[in-house]
Structure 1
């Protein structure tokens, strides 16, 4: 989406280097622990013209990569492949020949369900409006070789914005979903207010447990989600009537979804959408949230930890290298220490994909995964755990192509 806030975000990132001393918010020095292993790039199954990578594990613990493929004839397909530890299997097509809504920040994803099935989603145009599009979710019971009929999880039937989806396995065969919903019945004025909504798609395609989670959220920031022993958590960028755009969390309990609470009071006053959502990871009742903010003219990537299933969070720790673009993702090691990936500005047209582990409150050394661009087309790097390795995927711009690499959680 074309938002004027993108320029403002760049200004905030540039101001950060001049604001650190004045604000007393210097970037953290690397500790001696938490070092990550050397980066080994894998031959990606996605050819030139690919972007929007997403990573997940299947029921057997194998890495699944999905991406958007732009073909030479200008058609688009949503595709996937699986890594068996030494090589990728054949590319499978999740969807093609449809009226896709293709967006650099709002991209398809794939997940494994409790019974071993796979679920995937994409966005599809609805009506003639520039931003009239809806969510489609599909299921595969044969490892992605064939897919069932698409289901639309929002029931408004309106030509409005619906997107920024997070998927999860809900019970043995349900597909849990959260998304940003811009149905006009929830937007009586022209402020482009979005809502946060959830639903579950059953094995028969029926919609269940539909719920409105938050009646006003940021317009176009990604959502994130993670399971805990006490219930699922959802994180997203909130939006107050005063245009404060901090990160919020809700938890699903036996009585339903809790009221939204801030992960931290950044107090980021921002009259637009930064297109820079949070992500979450969990282990037991430890939940870690990573996010970008430029509150008080200082761009940061922050990490905050909860040990009570997301009910409360400790003070955030800053982990960036001084001029972050953001676009974060996070996974946890076996001790629930977060490993975060993000983009860092390195010049007018240059950026790097960086990764860093936080042990307690001590950030470890930064690991450079790749050079890239800070342009929109470089998208959002993604992570997943694979045994003692972390697998990362990101997009280069010239040429446009998905890349995949792995690095060990051990520095040796």
Structure 2
């Protein structure tokens, strides 16, 4: 491991003078961020992190090379990983990072998107779901949870579990030719989908979507496609009965004749709903975050977390209402994995740089954040090492007045 690829964690605490420092290995052991070994082997990619109940952390990934590759996962608890489980092995290429959701009834849902091997259209895709009632040892028969009329578009899907044990699935559909719809369905505990819903009839074609649930209310954020090729971030609030509201989070006014392939993220709790995103409306890459105190009906003025950014954001909403946001920033010819914690009033509590080096392009370009207990976990695919990597960071140090933080 070299300093080039895994820096000592640099953290900037927002004090009256906005001081910034680089931590050294002499920092206290309980304030160290450290890399965690994972079961994901050399060649692993397309990772996804999520928290299960009882402080468990689930990491999924794709491994293998042509003519077949596998969707696998493992669970971490008490500092140890379970034996990895294989959900599916296929000759089809995985389009988007597949994921495993922990459902409220204790079962697991696996969701994956593939490019059919013999499809005439390189962007054509199919989404499959399967359920497991025994922790992932056995899975139901995979099914496509949408009607035959659907035309799934490459790499855009999101999902979120609901309190009743079902989960929501959102995808981009191009059955209307050159116009891209944002579609959704609820998947019951038996794996059967409800009738599909149109969340937005015209969205940006290849920017990722994100969906979060608060109780049985759903929030889906995405890059909209407005008149004049304006591609700003929108949020739709919906439930089993239909759409409750649909609005632009902030009018950045980004006019671009094409999809920037860089979507937003949403998180929602009892007090706040938060959306974070990338924009280059003025030609400068910026990462922003905005909070809503009324379940997404209105958003405050966004907080700018960083310029010289490449985006690909992920975020967590914490119990105290603050948010941890991760994104890819530029550092000269290389990129950095950056992290910040902010309050709803716009106060930036801490900034950190976790990794410097190359990141892969589509479809493994994304970061992934999760919380398990009092630890924050950040996963990424390292382009030079060709594998999924994972860092563990104590939440307590990502706060004003926190200890110096160093990579262990």
Please give the alpha-carbon distance, in whole angstroms, between the structure 2 residues aligned to 1:157 and 1:253. 23
> Which residue in the other structure is 1:15 paired with?
none
* Alignment partner of 1:42 is 2:26: no
SS of equivalent residue, structure 2 residue 350: coil
* Alignment partner of 1:96 is 2:89: yes
Residue in structure 1 matching 2:137, options 138, 145, 149: 145
RMSD (Å) for aligned C-alpha atoms: 2.2
> Which residue in the other structure is 1:110 paired with?
100
CA contact (8 A) 1:135 1:162 kept: no
> Which residue in the other structure is 1:6 paired with?
none
Residue in structure 1 matching 2:60, options 62, 66, 73: 66
How has the CA–CA distance of structure 1 residues 30 and 270 changed in structure 2, closer, same or farther, with 3 Å as cutoff? farther
Please give the alpha-carbon distance, in whole angstroms, between the structure 2 residues aligned to 1:168 and 1:253. 12
Q: CA deviation at 1:162?
A: 5.3
> Which residue in the other structure is 2:14 paired with?
31
TM-score (norm 2): 0.86
> Which residue in the other structure is 2:406 paired with?
none
Please give the alpha-carbon distance, in whole angstroms, between the structure 1 residues aligned to 2:89 and 2:215. 38
> Which residue in the other structure is 2:349 paired with?
364
Please give the alpha-carbon distance, in whole angstroms, between the structure 2 residues aligned to 1:396 and 1:323. 20
Residue in structure 2 matching 1:376, options 346, 361, 382: 361
How has the CA–CA distance of structure 1 residues 138 and 253 changed in structure 2, closer, same or farther, with 3 Å as cutoff? closer
CA contact (8 A) 1:32 1:365 kept: no
Runs of 4 or more consecutive aligned structure 1 residues displaced over 6 Å after TM superposition: 33-36
SS of equivalent residue, structure 2 residue 261: coil
TM-score (norm 1): 0.85
* Alignment partner of 1:161 is 2:146: no
Residue in structure 2 matching 1:212, options 187, 195, 198: 198
- Higher strand fraction (1 or 2): 2
> Which residue in the other structure is 2:8 paired with?
none
Residue in structure 1 matching 2:378, options 392, 395, 411: 392
The 5-angstrom pairing of residues 187-202 of structure 1 reads: 187=177, 192-202=178-188
Q: Which runs of 5+ in 2 are unaligned?
A: 1-11, 21-29, 398-402, 404-408
CA contact (8 A) 2:151 2:173 kept: no
Say how many residue pairs are matched.
372
More deviation in 33-42 or 124-133?
Answer: 33-42
Please give the alpha-carbon distance, in whole angstroms, between the structure 2 residues aligned to 1:137 and 1:347. 41
> Which residue in the other structure is 1:329 paired with?
314
Please give the alpha-carbon distance, in whole angstroms, between the structure 1 residues aligned to 2:43 and 2:111. 20
Q: CA deviation at 1:64?
A: 0.3
Q: CA deviation at 1:41?
A: 0.8
Residue in structure 1 matching 2:46, options 30, 46, 52: 52
* Alignment partner of 1:180 is 2:180: no
How has the CA–CA distance of structure 1 residues 37 and 344 changed in structure 2, closer, same or farther, with 3 Å as cutoff? farther
SS of equivalent residue, structure 2 residue 41: coil
Please give the alpha-carbon distance, in whole angstroms, between the structure 2 residues aligned to 1:230 and 1:179. 19
> Which residue in the other structure is 1:355 paired with?
339
> Which residue in the other structure is 1:21 paired with?
none
Please give the alpha-carbon distance, in whole angstroms, between the structure 1 residues aligned to 2:107 and 2:237. 25
- Higher helix fraction (1 or 2): 1
Q: Which runs of 5+ in 1 are unaligned?
A: 1-28
How has the CA–CA distance of structure 1 residues 30 and 156 changed in structure 2, closer, same or farther, with 3 Å as cutoff? farther
SS of equivalent residue, structure 1 residue 280: strand
Please give the alpha-carbon distance, in whole angstroms, between the structure 1 residues aligned to 2:132 and 2:301. 41
Q: CA deviation at 1:70?
A: 2.4
Q: Deviations over 1:203-231 (max 9, x none)?
A: 33322142001000011111112223582
SS of equivalent residue, structure 1 residue 227: strand
SS of equivalent residue, structure 2 residue 32: coil
CA contact (8 A) 1:58 1:118 kept: no
Please give the alpha-carbon distance, in whole angstroms, between the structure 2 residues aligned to 1:112 and 1:230. 15
SS of equivalent residue, structure 1 residue 364: strand
Please give the alpha-carbon distance, in whole angstroms, between the structure 2 residues aligned to 1:131 and 1:178. 17
Please give the alpha-carbon distance, in whole angstroms, between the structure 2 residues aligned to 1:329 and 1:129. 30
How has the CA–CA distance of structure 1 residues 129 and 384 changed in structure 2, closer, same or farther, with 3 Å as cutoff? same
SS of equivalent residue, structure 2 residue 217: coil
Q: CA deviation at 1:296?
A: 1.8
Please give the alpha-carbon distance, in whole angstroms, between the structure 1 residues aligned to 2:173 and 2:164. 27
> Which residue in the other structure is 2:9 paired with?
none
The 5-angstrom pairing of residues 193-342 of structure 1 reads: 193-228=179-214, 231-253=217-239, 255-320=241-306, 322-342=307-327
